[in-house]
Amino acid sequence: MIVKMKKLTLLSLAYDRAATLDALRELGVLHVTPVVAPSSAHLEEAREKATGLRRLLDAIPADAAVKKTGRDVFAVMADTAHLLEQEKEWRERLEAVEAEIARVEPFGAVEPGAIKDLREKGVFVQLYRAPVKSKLTPPEGVSAIHVATRKTDSYWALIAQAPIEWPGADEQRLPEDALPELQNEAGSLRQGLVGIREELAKSAGDRYLIEELYQKAEAEVTLQEVRAGMGTVEELAYVQGFVPAHDVEKVREAAAQHGWGLMVTDPGPEDDVPVKLRSPRWSKPIHAVFRGISILPGYSEADVSVVFMLFFSLFFAMIVGDAGYGLIFLGLTLYFRKKLPTDAFWLLVVTSACTTVWGFATGTLFGMNPEILARIGLDKFQIPFLTDPLNGAKNIMGFCFLIGAIQITIGHVWNIVDLVRDKQLKALEQLGWTVSTWFMFFLADSMVLNGHMLGYLNLSEAATAMFWKVMLYALGVSVALIILFMMKPSELKDGWFNLALLPLNLVGNFTDVVSYVRLYAVGSAGFAVAYAFNNMIFGGDKPWWALLLGALLAFLAHTLNVLLCAMGVLVHGIRLNTLEFANHKGISWSGSPYRPFMKRESAA
């Protein structure tokens, strides 16, 4: 569920605002919204300090294996800042040297000193660049040497007894140093930059010192933002924000203790209310996905964590589809348990376990031949519906359509329940969409699978004809319900275009159901890739050394396939929840997270 919020306005004496903010930070329940745009000298100073510390922190790699050096935080900061300054200076010099090398390289090993000596003796050597297509001729009485051609330019060295001009060509200044010297300098600078990175890596054991300072600096930035964003009226200062309804009493008690004025109201439609989710414990792992792609349902919408968790786990299993990959994921997850956030750890445990179960159920283990799996007895775990040699593919495709119809139906039925609770006739429109979704399921089955799933009902030819007649009547009734109850008569003037778009929305309903077949397509592609690699690498009689080489190639091939499967989960597994299902449920993912004003220690 989405935690109910209350809008809060808190007043205190202006001179006491510092103590007020400290007390609010101790409470740690108020999500502050600025009354005015935060701006102050103290805020800018705090931001600059935090930015500087962030720069130092980013420069030092995180490596728990590196030991502490024993330096204090100021020594670590000073050494790191010095190295970064040196790195910046050397990098700028390297860019300049590389640009100079690129400019003079076509002229070869030109010696600037020798050219200057020749000028003192009355021999002038000048360097030019001219377009290849220009066909310029050098001035009379001048010795011209064509040095090189690069893409569309020609490079020349002109020798004369007096300074000359060559109209149409660009004279190039003499290089700072000879080309070999420039190349040596560039090499030394590159080595120096590598050395700086190595020196910074040695400070990894002291990184925590700067990290502690950075956290305090970030807390100070937040404090100054809140302070600068407070409103003032004569001798009063006030702060506004949102607080979970169950925490309002805490604020009331603090207000009575500190003598604050307090106004608590319900949020209005114009308020950007932060979202705090309170999902069932077993569905909380899906919050790792919400954080990873920065999405949240809007405050007035619904917490779909339960549905998202159930279907995402199934989608993950079907897209990866291989029991071997699932076991690898599970092993890696358990190995890196301490480095993973709790939600992410349990999400990976669940999805890996589901993948393993699905892989055994469909007879898929590292893309191995089904005959090999049968020899080692793993065929006992297979579900015939999913592995039938004749109809297995159609069964899984039909299962995908069924999953889509069920998930979309959940969204509409959920809407019906909410609308009935609010006593709104719009619930009948949602009923119409529910019925039309199941018509689209059977239509997809008929068009794509030639009625394969309907065949499991074992209907006679006459009963099948009657079934379709009933379904067409049902579709007509559902369209009528949608048209009649999609909006109130008073809304027709502004919302008439929704009626005009209804045919497209019905087609969209069909394509949404069909789009779930991507689960089969991506999962089958992963198996096909693994199976093809296995046949290419291990097919036929091969000597022992070829088998060893094949094992290495198989490892690389399956690693690539795992990465492709992971991309499939990110693209398709998440999309079906955040787009197809969310559109039917009415989730806009427009929510902003609830971030209470609190001390860092409390946040931990």
Q: Which residue has the tokens 């064509």?
A: 146
> CB-based burial of residue 546 (10 Å sphere; 0-12 exposed, 13-18 middle, 19+ buried)?
middle
- Ordered by start, the domain boundaries in the chain are 1-37+229-274, 39-101+183-222, 111-174, 285-389+559-594, 391-516
- Model confidence pLDDT, tens digit, residues 299-344: 999 999 999 999 999 999 999 989 999 999 999 999 999 889 999 9
CA distance 193 to 191: 5
In angstroms, how far is the first alpha carbon of the chain from the final one?
A: 23
Q: Residue 569: which of 372, 317, 378 has the closest Cα?
A: 317
The architecture of the domain spanning 1-37+229-274 is: 2-Layer Sandwich (3.30)
Higher pLDDT, 535 or 522: 522
- Model confidence pLDDT, tens digit, residues 69-101: 888 999 999 999 999 999 999 999 999 999 988
What is the H or E stretch that residue 428 is in?
A: helix 426-449
In terms of DSSP H, where are the helices of 144-205?
Answer: 179-201
Confidence of residue 575 (pLDDT cuts 50, 70, 90): very high
241 SS3 class: strand
pLDDT at 602: 38
Confidence of residue 539 (pLDDT cuts 50, 70, 90): low
Name the average pLDDT for the chain: 89
Q: Is the pLDDT of residue 495 over 80?
A: no
582 SS3 class: helix
pLDDT at 544: 60
Q: Residue 43: which of 260, 223, 267, 295 has the closest Cα?
A: 223
pLDDT at 604: 33
Question: Using alpha carbons only, what angle is made at residue 84 by residues 78 and 85, rounded to the nearest 5 degrees?
Answer: 90
> CB-based burial of residue 33 (10 Å sphere; 0-12 exposed, 13-18 middle, 19+ buried)?
middle
What are the structure tokens assigned to 376, written together? Answer: 């080692």
What are the structure tokens assigned to 137, written together? Answer: 């001729």
pLDDT at 146: 85
Using a pLDDT cut of 70, give the percent of the chain over it.
Answer: 97
* pTM score: 0.80
- Model confidence pLDDT, tens digit, residues 461-492: 999 999 999 999 999 999 999 999 988 877 77
Using a pLDDT cut of 90, give the percent of the chain over it.
Answer: 60
